Structure 1
Amino acid sequence: MNADAIQTEFNRQLAESASIKQELAARQAGVMAEMAAVMVSAFRQGKRVYWCGNGGSFTDCHHIVGELVGRYGYDRPPLPSFVLAAGVASLTAIANDYGYEQIFKREAEAVLQKGDVLVGLSTSGNSKNVIAALEVARARGCVTLGWAGQKTARIDEVCDLVLHVPSSHTPRIQECHIAVGHVICDIIEKSLFPRA
């Protein structure tokens, strides 16, 4: 690709990403607001918010948890939020002994308590290991939230609320997930620790 073609490609992809985010806001603002309210309520009650996902979604989970435990916009007390299967030793042990589909479920069984929140990220909405953890969470009386792509999928059957990004292109879905995560972190921070 020459320099002009590269610049054109940047413009095209960034415009596409922005357009999908605008469509997401128009279609799913209510769902996103409910999800933020659920997390604010859980933190106020001393509950925890857990996250799980594969690949880029796993990385997004870590990014969001870093904002909640650290800080997003300003200094304030840390919030109890964790990524399932974050430890490499336990992840590989569980995958080896029980199978990859159990990596989140096994930890969910160890830590989830009634009233906690589990957010499962799956661009397809059908990741078996994410679904297995969400099933455990539901059985434990946790609130289950799903972040997926545009298609109705298995995640819709196991979640109280599902965010559907209006795209089937994995990178665009992930870009929306992290954008939504940032807004939710901002809302949580401002709701729990308002600045004068």
Structure 2
Amino acid sequence: MATVSSGSPIAVEIAGTIASLQTAFTPEYCSAIDRAAEALTEVLRHGGKVLIMGNGGSAADAQHIAAELVGRYKVKRKALAAIALTTDSSILTAWSNDYNYDTVFSRQVEALARPGDIVWGISTSGNSRNVVAAFESARAIGATTLGMLGRDGGRLLPLSDVAMVVPLAATDQIQAAHLLTYHALCSHLDTEFQ
């Protein structure tokens, strides 16, 4: 089996990401994950649903999370109500073409969110305009907003009822922390709903 030689660009990249993750998971960040776990458990236990969104890699994360919740993460358990707002190509393209991309998620939140649901936005910058608009719509409806953010939390921080802010600057490292975070949350939910 081939191995990555130390000092190679790949090894340097991996070591840099691991080092950044060790600094990212501060007591404050871990406490925010605990609050998110409590909020998700409460909403799902009372028949609510989770609407998840993001752009680019964060869109892929939204789909990944929804798949883990509706399907399963590690253990067999009941299905949990989760929808990735990034997956319906007809809604995404029709609304963006006829109106604008900044409201492509808020329109879906208006249609699907109810008080007692969670609207989960993922943004490495914390400033994604379409996620900001969706959080504004969610708050008007009475849904809980859950931000999985990066850097300083950006414009989404004050709009998040629960905010998990990865205190890093590099997008790829924030995304790596987000992956670990939502896998931990999925593991928690597996246990709660097994």
Distance in 2 (CA, whole Å) between partners of 1:135 and 1:171 is 27
Are 1:186 and 2:187 matched, yes or no?
yes
Distance of 1:188 and 1:67 partners within structure 2: 10
1:122 aligns with 2:123: yes
**Stretch of structure 1 that moved more, 176-185 or 12-21:** 12-21
State whether residues 49 and 118 of structure 1, in contact with CA within 8 Å, keep that contact through their aligned partners in structure 2. yes
One-letter code aligned to 1:118: V
* Structure 1, gaps ≥5 residues long: none
Task: Give 1:116 deviation, angstroms.
Answer: 0.2
Deviations 1:18-44 (A, max 9, x none): 222222222411000000110011110
Partner of 1:19: 19
Please give the per-residue CA displacement for 1:65-108, whole angstroms capped at 9, x wherever unaligned. Answer: 11111110011111100111420011100001110101101111
Q: In the comparison of the two structures, how many residue pairs are matched? A: 191
8 A Cα contact 1:53 1:130, kept in partner: yes
Matching residue of 2:57: 56
State the alpha-carbon separation in 1 of the partners of residues 153 and 52 from structure 2: 20
2:23 pairs with 1:29: no
Secondary structure at the counterpart of residue 121 of structure 1: strand
1:131 matched residue in structure 2: 132
RMSD: 1.7
Q: For 1:4 and 1:34, how far apart are their aligned partners in 2?
A: 38
- Contact 2:85–2:108 (CA under 8 A) maintained in structure 1: yes
Match of 2:178 in 1: 177
Gaps of 5+ in 2: none
Residue 88 of structure 2 is matched in structure 1 by 87
- Is the partner of 2:76 in helix, strand or coil? coil
Q: Could you tell me which amino acid in structure 2 is paired with residue 86 of structure 1? A: T
TM-score normalized by the length of structure 1: 0.92
Q: Quote the residue 1:111 is aligned against.
A: 112
Superposed counterparts of 1:40-79, under 5 Å: 40-79=41-80
Structure 1 residue 4 displacement after superposition: 8.2
Counterpart-to-counterpart distance in 1, 2:132 and 2:45: 27
Q: Is the deviation greater in 9-18 or in 115-124?
A: 9-18
Paired with 2:153 and 2:93, the residues of 1 have a C-alpha distance of 31
> TM-score, length-normalised on structure 2?
0.93
